A and B are shown apart, each in its own frame.
Chain A
Amino acid sequence: MPARPPRDFRGVVVALPTVAAAASYGLHALVPNNDPGLQSNFYPELILLVLAAAVVFAAWARLLPRFRPSGVYAAPLFTAAIITVAIWDLVTTKLALLPMPYFPGPELVLQGLVDDRWVLLESTFYSFRLLFCGYALGVLAGLTSGVLMGWFRQVRYWGMPIMKLIGPIPATAFVPLVMVMFDEPFFSGAALIALATWFPVAMLTSSGVANVPASYFDVAKTLGAGRHFLVFRVAIPAAMPNVFIGLFMGMGAAFLTLIVAETVGVRAGLGFYFKMQKDYFEFGKVYASLLIMALFFSGFMTLLFKIRDRVLGWQKGVIRW
């Protein structure tokens, strides 16, 4: 007896986001707000926008005569995101199951985003500037000291103990010290982020350089290589996979240090905005800034992954982002 071919659900799958968006719009319109004084404007508008997007998406994914695999792949995630926000709306704005004002609904977060858009943009810019300066400085210092320690035994002998002592201290422990060392909080913040970034980058770079297989150097020497070639054309490229692990670890440490620095000393940026709005009990704006942070940090990570894919294109079987 021939087996029945598996049923094709792709048509249903690509229509799911549309159904979910329509349902969450209906839910929002039918269930009354718990707080009668709350005007919901932005959230229903957003759902309508998402609904339109879902219809376009369905049409694109079902482009006749074939389905687009990437569309079929993305549809369940898209649907889940819409449903999650609808549930969030239901348990906060509609049913008030969570204590206020700590858990605002999507409407309040959207209002916060729209009301403070310029402040948020400015804060993002300040955070970006601080993170970029600190991270770049830390990477530069980490790569330089890492290569020197990996290549020269003497530098490793004297440098390793210092790095082993200072490196593991969380950079945030230095906050009180650094804040009094620099007049300008921007410099103290950048110095802290640089310190946090430096340790993992230096550590991984030096171990990468020190562990390059000797046979690569042997081959290079019989090809007529001098020291410059051995360092810059053999040791450093061979250490690159390690260096990137250090860069990722350093970036995580830099995010953490950025937010701490902005919360306790630097009077600008997303961390500062976050703390200020929390003190004002403006929790809609608190979550709005969290949302921006999520996009901001994720964007940085994505950028680093893109650079990694470019530089380490020769590797096989690397983690995708």
Chain B
Amino acid sequence: MSKTSSSIYEPLDDASGLSIRGVRKVFCGADGVEVHALDGVSLSIAAGEMVSLIGPSGCGKSTLLRLIAGLDYPNSGELRVGSKPIEGPSAERGLMFQDPNLFPWLSVRRNVQAGLVARGVLRERRHEVEEFIRLVGLEPFANVYPHQLSGGMAQRAALARALVNHPKVLLLDEPLGALDQFTRMQMQDEVLRVWQARRTTLLLVTHDIDEAIYMSDRIAIMTPRPGRLERVLDVPLARPRQRNSAAFLELRAQILEMLNFAGNGKPKPAPSSPATSAKPE
């Protein structure tokens, strides 16, 4: 789609790469047991790159995303956007959850506007709201309240809301996890289209290996207890990608192998054990 003449497609800032160095995060459980959610995680993401974080439940993917969003703080290590350290939540890092978390008391349009209102720039940039609503294809539903939307439409609205501040970095925490298979594949194309048009740096947390391969430039594989970055894989497939191409399936097999889920007789990782199994460094 060539809508690039429009004002919402600003050229990408070079300073919007993301660097994570030696990040540790320890949670204190209710029973006083320390849980090492993240243990020395380092990752660099170039400006405009899309990286997927995959791994089993409890490997600290969402924790890492919250740290990048600035909603939580690491015990040690460093997080930067460009050369600026992350010191708290900011409109330059947009976040989207599995639950769209639209404000139910606002219409779709007012939800999308919320970021402009929060920063006090609604007057100057109101015209962009309609463009973002159009970008996600919700023009007919701009005046509708969230409870009247389907799951996919609500996620589109949440995407538009996250984009309205022109974030340098977009953080997606299993945004499509609650959608049915068909809506999910459709929304994957939607997110890709938006990302290609906007070229933000994008970090996608997902449970879905196919989604990670289909969408991202690189895939970071995490392991749980303590949460560590196991490997980072390149996805050397040309876009648009074919979900059934041989290269796609080969990469998929390779990742399954790495996660010990290939089903070729190797033992699978133990099922989630209670927090008490977390061992100190």
Contact = CB atoms under 8 A, between A and B. Distances in A.
Interface of A: 213, 215-216, 218-226, 229, 233-234, 237-238, 240, 312-316
Nearest to A224: B91
A219 to B, nearest CB: 5
A226 B165 CA distance: 15
A226 to B, nearest CB: 7
A316 B97 CA distance: 23
A224 B105 contact: no
7 contacts: A218-B89, A218-B101, A219-B95, A219-B161, A222-B69, A222-B94, A224-B115
A224 B147 contact: no
Contacts of A237: 103, 105-106
What 5 pairs across the A-B complex have the smallest Cβ distances?
Answer: A224-B91, A221-B89, A223-B115, A225-B118, A222-B95
Contacts of B146: 314
* A interface SS class: helix
Interface string B161-175: 110110000010000
Interface in B85-102: 88-91, 93-95, 97, 99, 101
B141 interface: no
A218 B71 CA distance: 7
A316 B148 CA distance: 9
Nearest to B94: A222
Given A314-B147, A316-B147, A222 B71 contact: yes
B165 A224 contact: yes
A224 B94 CA distance: 9
A223 B118 contact: yes
B145 interface: yes
* B interface SS class: loop
Contacts of B106: 237, 314
A215 B117 contact: no
Given A223-B115, A314-B106, A215 B101 contact: yes
Interface of B: 69-71, 88-91, 93-95, 97, 99, 101, 103-107, 114-115, 117-119, 145-147, 161-162, 164-165, 171
Given A222-B90, A224-B90, A224-B165, A233 B118 contact: yes
A226 B164 CA distance: 17
Contacts of B101: 213, 215-216, 218-219
Contact of A314 (B90, B115, B145): B145
A301 B232 CA distance: 63
Given A213-B101, A224-B118, A314-B146, 19 more contacts: A215-B99, A216-B103, A218-B95, A218-B101, A219-B161, A220-B114, A222-B69, A222-B94, A222-B162, A223-B118, A224-B89, A224-B91, A224-B165, A226-B118, A233-B114, A237-B106, A240-B105, A312-B105, A314-B105
A218 B89 CA distance: 8
Contacts of B97: 215, 219
Nearest to B158: A219
Contact of A224 (B71, B119, B145, B171): B119
Contacts of B162: 222-223
B168 to A, nearest CB: 12
Nearest to A313: B145
A2 B196 CA distance: 63
Contacts of B104: 314-315
Nearest to A234: B103
Contacts of B165: 223-224
Contacts of B117: 229, 233
A55 to B, nearest CB: 43
